[in-house]
Amino acid sequence: MTFRIGTGTPLREARLQARALATWRDAELLVQLRWDDFVAADRASRRGAFAAYVTALDAEATAPGELADVHSDLAEAA
C-alpha cells in the first residue's frame, strides 16, 4: 500500500477543487443578485446598479480560470 504525503495528497486536491468551484458558484450568485438589483433600481440608481452588475460579471469571468489553474496544479502534482 502506498501513502502519498505532501502537496499531492488527494484530500488537498479535493479541497482545492471544492474551493475553486465554490468561488465560481459564489460569483455566479453575485451576478444574479446584481442583475436583480439593476432590474429593481429606480432611474437615479440604475447606472450604479449596472456598474455593479458588470463588475460581478468580470469576477465571474475570472472564476473558470482559477478552476483551470487548480486543475493544472493537480495535474502537475500527479
Amino acid at 57: L
Provide the whole-model pTM. Answer: 0.69
Please report the pLDDT score of residue 21 as a whole number: 86
Average pLDDT score over residue span 13-17:
81
pLDDT at 20 over 70: yes
| pLDDT digits 0-9 by tens, 52-67 | 999 999 999 988 777 7
Separation between Cα atoms, residue 6 and residue 36, nearest integer Å: 44
* CA distances (Å), origin 31, targets 1, 48, 64: 46, 14, 14
User: Whole-number mean pLDDT of the chain?
Assistant: 82
Residues 6+ apart with CB under 8 A from 24: 60, 63, 64, 66, 67
Please report the pLDDT score of residue 26 as a whole number: 93
